[in-house]
Amino acid sequence: MNLNKKLLAAAVASLALGTASSAAFALNAAGVIIPDVPGGTVFAVSSIYESIVPNTGGVANIGATFTGMGSVTQVNGQALQCSGGPCELTFVLTGYTVQSATATTISFTGGTVNMYLDYTPDFNPYAPGTTFASALASASNSTSGTPWLSLSGRNFLDLFTGLQGSLVARNALGGVALAGNGTGELDVSGGMAMAYFDTNTIDDNLNCTVGTNCADVQINASYSTIAAPSSIPLAGSADLHAVVTVPEPASLALLGVGLLGVGAFSRRRKQK
């Protein structure tokens, strides 16, 4: 096989790999394996544990805040995997402040979510003797974890309630009901995995331009007192939706085009 044929074969292989990868692929995002990513989308399932917002007569107090924590258990339908071996990916929610409230809804402003990658898994809010404070400290991995992704609450319009805020809760979070759910949007602000998730692909329903200045991550949570540990008021599950930036397929495709160009140039020179 001469050089031109080799270049052409390499180009075709690169283009084929780029095409296949753009459909579904596994990505190592700063140590966390994201499997079967269709078109770059990520769907993560996590456990979540929360405090109850201070309230008066079942209506959350304006200016009150709440704290939450949790751990990611699945990514795109598969159990959490990390390139460095057994791990945990935990997160802590802080700084969400009540800006409006009724007996059935709460709109929050502000807020941060910090995620930590830890290769010595120890987060277990159900362990005997665990308190809310100790579980929170374990989730933040202040001694052994590495900041993986930092996010800041972003204002959006919740189409279910018509409320705006960085997080909109329905039913229980600050009132007297025993179950509820909520939705929030977030912008990536730091962490090892920032480059993978800073995509501006989540519509805030406030006239942002997708791909330019929209949110990066959406979180949907449900919670109740039923499954909560004795020291933690609320527990439930949370789904995190995002789109990752994946330069590999595009780079491979560009490499293929470049190789084709080299091959064509070589053929023209030979003909001359």
pLDDT of residue 218: 96
Report CA-CA distances (Å) from 208 to 200, 211, 255.
9, 9, 33
162, 106 contact by CB (below 8 A): no
pLDDT of residue 162: 95
pLDDT of residue 41: 86
Distance of CA 17 to the CA centre of its chain: 27
**HSE (CB half, 13 Å, CA atoms) of 236?**
21
**CB environment 175-206: b (16+ within 10 A), e (fewer):** beeeebbbbbbbbbeebbbbebbbbbbbbbee
pLDDT of residue 72: 95
pLDDT of residue 207: 95
pLDDT of residue 227: 67
How far is Cα 112 from Cα 58, in angstroms, rounded to an integer? 25
pLDDT in tens for each of the 272 residues of the chain? 454 444 344 333 333 333 333 456 788 999 999 988 777 788 899 999 988 888 888 788 999 998 999 999 999 999 999 999 999 999 999 999 999 999 889 999 999 999 999 999 989 988 888 888 888 888 887 556 899 999 999 999 999 999 999 999 987 544 444 678 899 999 999 999 999 999 999 999 999 999 999 999 999 998 888 767 777 888 899 999 999 886 544 333 333 333 334 344 344 444 55
pLDDT of residue 36: 80
Q: For the whole model, what pTM was predicted?
A: 0.79
pLDDT of residue 271: 52
Pick from 66, 137, 131, 141: which is nearest to 99 by CA? 66
